[in-house]
Amino acid sequence: MKVLVPVKRVIDANIRVRVKSDNTGVETANVKMAMNPFCEIAVEEALRIKEAGNAEEVIVMSAGPDKAAETIRTGLAMGADRGVHVNTEESLEPLVIAQLIKAVAEKEGADLVILGKQSIDDDNNQTGQMLAALMGRPLGSYISKIEKNDGGFAITREIDAGLEDLQIASPAVVTADLRLNEPRYASLPNIMKAKKKPIDALSPADLGVEVKNRLEVLKVEDPPAREAGVMVSGASELVDKLKNEAKVI
Amino acid sequence: MSILVIAEHDNSQLSPGTLNTVAAAAKIGAELRVLVAGSGCGDVAAACAKIAGVSEVLCADFDTYAHEITENTAHLVKANLDGVSHVLAPASTFGKALIPYLAALCDAQPISDISDVVSEDTFVRPIYAGNALQTVKMSDAVKMMTVRTTAFEAADAEGGSGTVTAIDDAGASDVVTFKGQNLSQSERPELTSARIVVSGGRGMQNGENFAMLEKLADTLGGAVGASRAAVDAGFVPNDYQVGQTGKVVAPDLYIAVGISGAIQHLAGMKDSKTIVAINNDEEAPIFQVADYGWNEDLFTAVPALQAELDG
Ligand SMILES: Cc1cc2nc3c(=O)[nH]c(=O)nc-3n(C[C@H](O)[C@H](O)[C@H](O)COP(=O)(O)OP(=O)(O)OC[C@H]3O[C@@H](n4cnc5c(N)ncnc54)[C@H](O)[C@@H]3O)c2cc1C
Ligand SMILES: Nc1ncnc2c1ncn2[C@@H]1O[C@H](COP(=O)(O)O)[C@@H](O)[C@H]1O
C-alpha cells in the first residue's frame, strides 16, 4: 500500500498574526512558518501505518512556491520516503489544490490519502472532502482512528455529537483530527537523512491542472476588539454584576 | 432563484443551528427552501415548513439517509439544485463535511463559516482563528457555504407555512458503510446553542473535578464545555471542545475556569456576550477578553460561586 500525505506550509500556530495596514491580507514577511499542525498528524499516521507493516511507502506532497519544499523536507525528516512538490507562485484555492492532489494520487497509485482536517491559516476545512468527491472515493472526515482491514479501512470520526464508526473501501481519502495521534519530532540524524531523500518537482501544467480561482478577497480586517473588563474579588460581587450589570443570570 | 438550506437533524429533532442558517439565508434574500434528508424524518420536515420565511421543504425520507453519510447527502442535494442560487448549511461537522464535497461534485469553490452577508455574492468570514475577518466575493453560478451559526440570530421556528414536497432517493454509496455511533448523552442544553456555557481547562486537574462545573451549569441552566488541553488529558469527551478546531459558541454568559486563553481557545468563544474568567494566574491572557476576571484558585472560587447562587 502507498500512502500520500498532502501538507501545507502555514504561519506557525504560536504566532499572533497581524492584519496588513492596506487590508489586503496578513503580515507574512519575516514570520515563522511551519507545517500545518493537522498535516503533522497526517504524516505521523502514515508513518505509523508503514511501521505496522501495512504500507510500503509514504509520499509527502505540497503545492505552493519554492518554500513549500521546506515543509516537504519536514515530512521527510519525520520519516516519509519521498516528496512531490507542485511548484507554483499562484495563490491556490482548495478546489485547485484538490485537483492537484488528485492528479498526484492517481499518478502515484496511492491507496490512501491522509490530509489534515483544516489548515489553520485560512481555516477552510475543505480540501479532503473536495478530493474525495473529485476522485469518487470514500471520505473519512475528522478521523480519530483508522485501521486497515480486508474491506479497506475501519475508521472512527469525531462528530459534534460524539463519535461515529464507518467502514470505507480502499482507495480512500481521510482527514486527520487532533486526537488521531501525537506527532513525533524529527531527530537530528533523520533531519540529516532527509536532505538526501528525493523531491520530484512538477508544475500544475505537468499534472494537466489549470489554476483557475473563483474567489476574490476584497479585504482583510481586524475583528472588533473586546473592551477591557474589570476584576472582581469575590462571589457576591460577581453574582451581583452578572445579575444587575450584565443582566445575564 | 431560491436559496437552499440543508437541515441538520437527528431524524426526530431539528438542530437549533439550522434556524440560524435559515436566518443567514434570509439575509441573502429570495425564496427559501429547506432540504431534509433522513429516515423517519417527517416531523423534522413539518418543523421546517413552520420556520418563518420558508416557502418549500424538500424531504427525502429513505433508509439511505438514516445516518449523515456525506456522500449520500451530497448526491441528493446535487440532484435538487434546479433554480437554486445558493446552498447553505450550518458550520457543524455535518455541514463542514457536506458542503465542500457537494461543491466539488458541482465544480464550485465554497466558502466556510460565513459570519456576515454583505450582498448576494459577497460574504465575511473569520480566518486565522478569528484573528482576521476576510470579505470574499464569489463567482460560481451556485454559491455554496457553511454558516457560523453563532453570528446570526435564529429565525423564528413558528409563523411559516411552507409546503412539503417529497423528493426521490438519489442512491447510497457502496463504498461507505455505517457501523455505529457513540454519542454523548446529556440532559443539558446543546453546547453551541446554550445561553450559558461553563468551560473548564487544564486547571481542573482531572475529570472528577468537572462535577463542580456540571453542578454550576445545572444551577444556571447551561452547558459544559472545555479547552483542548482538558479534552486531550481525557477529563471530558472530545465533543466538549470549544475553539478554532472544536465548537464555536457565543452564549450570553461564558464562564472560563482554569483556562489560560490561548488564541485557539478564544477563537471559539470570544464572541460571547459576557465572559467571566476564573484563573489563579493574574497574567493569564483570558483576562484580556473577560468582562469579569476573578484572580483566584478555582477550587476556592467555584464552590463560593455555587454557594452564592444557591443562596
Ligand atoms: C492546531 C491547533 C488547534 C487548537 N485548537 C484548539 C481548540 O479548538 N480549543 C482549545 O481550547 N485549544 C486549542 N488548541 C490548544 C491551545 O493552543 C492551548 O494549548 C489550549 O487551549 C490550552 O488549554 P488550557 O487553557 O486548558 O490549558 P493551559 O494553557 O495549561 O492553562 C491552564 C490554566 O489554568 C490555570 N490554573 C491552573 N490551576 C488553577 C487553579 N487551581 N485555579 C485557577 N486557575 C488555575 C492556569 O493559570 C492556566 O492559565 C489548539 C492548538 C493547536 C496547535
Ligand atoms: N497547498 C497545499 N498543498 C498540499 N496540501 C494542502 C495544501 N493546502 C491544503 N492542503 C491539505 O488540505 C488540508 C486541509 O486544508 P484546508 O482545506 O485548506 O483547510 C491540509 O491539512 C492539507 O493536508
Chains A & B: contacts with CB separation below 8 Å: 254
Q: How confident is the model at residue B249, as a pLDDT?
A: 97
Helix runs in chain A, H state only: 37-51, 68-78, 94-108, 127-135, 188-194, 235-244
Residue B138 distance to chain A (closest CA, Å): 5
Is B279 touching ligand 1 by the criterion CB < 6 Å? yes
CA A159 remoteness from chain centre: 18
Are B183 and A223 within 8 A, CB to CB?
no
The whole-number pLDDT of residue B222 equals 97
Ligand 1, atom 23, lies closest to the CA of B229
Residue ranges of B 184-213 with Cβ closer than 8 A to chain A = 184, 192, 196
Q: Which of B286, B291, B300, B309 to mutate to test the interface with A (most CBs of A within 10 A)?
A: B291
> Which residues 6+ apart lie within 8 Å of B255 measured at CB?
B196, B197, B198, B199, B216, B275, B276, B277, B278
Taking CA atoms only, the protein residue closest to ligand 2 atom 23 is: A115
**R_g of chain A computed on alpha carbons:** 21
Report chain A residues whose CB lies below 8 A from the CB of B217. none
Confidence (pLDDT) at B30: 77
Question: What is the CA(A7)–ligand 2 centre distance, in A?
Answer: 6
pLDDT score of B186 more than 90: no
Condensed to tens digits (0 to 9), the pLDDT of residues A39-74 reads: 999 999 999 999 999 999 999 999 999 999 999 999
Q: What is the pLDDT of residue B228?
A: 96
CB count in 10 Å sphere of residue A191: 15
A117-153: pLDDT as tens digits: 999 999 999 999 999 999 999 999 999 999 999 999 9
Task: Please state the ipTM of this predicted complex.
Answer: 0.97
- Please give the domain boundaries of chain A with CATH numbers for all domains: 2-214 (3.40.50.620)
Residue B95, helix vs strand vs coil: helix
Residue A228 has pLDDT above 90, yes or no: no
Return d(Cα A11, Cα A16) in angstroms, integer. 9
The pLDDT mean for chain B works out to 97
Atom number in ligand 2 closest to CA A6: 5
A30 Cα–ligand 1 center, Å: 27
Asked if B131 contacts B262 with a C-beta cutoff of 8 angstroms, the reply is no
* Amino acid (one-letter) located at A8: K
SS3 B26: helix
Q: Is the pLDDT of residue B182 over 90?
A: yes
Q: Assign A89 a pLDDT band (cuts: 50, 70, 90).
A: very high
Chain B stretch 137-156, residues whose beta carbon is closer than 8 A to a beta carbon of chain A: 137-140
Q: Does B235 touch chain A (CB under 8 A)?
A: no
Could A168 and B177 be called an inter-chain contact, meaning their C-beta atoms sit closer than 8 Å? yes
Task: Tell me which residue has its CA closest to atom 12 in ligand 2.
Answer: A127
Mean pLDDT (whole number) for B34-39: 98
Judge residue B152's burial from the number of C-beta atoms within 10 Å of its C-beta, 0-12 exposed, 13-18 middle, 19 or more buried.
buried
Q: Which of B28, B10, B30, B8 is nearest to B19 (CA)?
A: B8
In chain B, what residues touch A164 (CB-CB under 8 Å)?
A: 67, 178, 180-182
By Cβ distance, the residue of A122, A162, A166 closest to B179 is A166
CA distance A140 to A132: 9
Give phi and psi for A90, each to the nearest 5.
-70, 150
> What pLDDT score was predicted for residue A51?
98
C-alpha cell, B219: 444551577
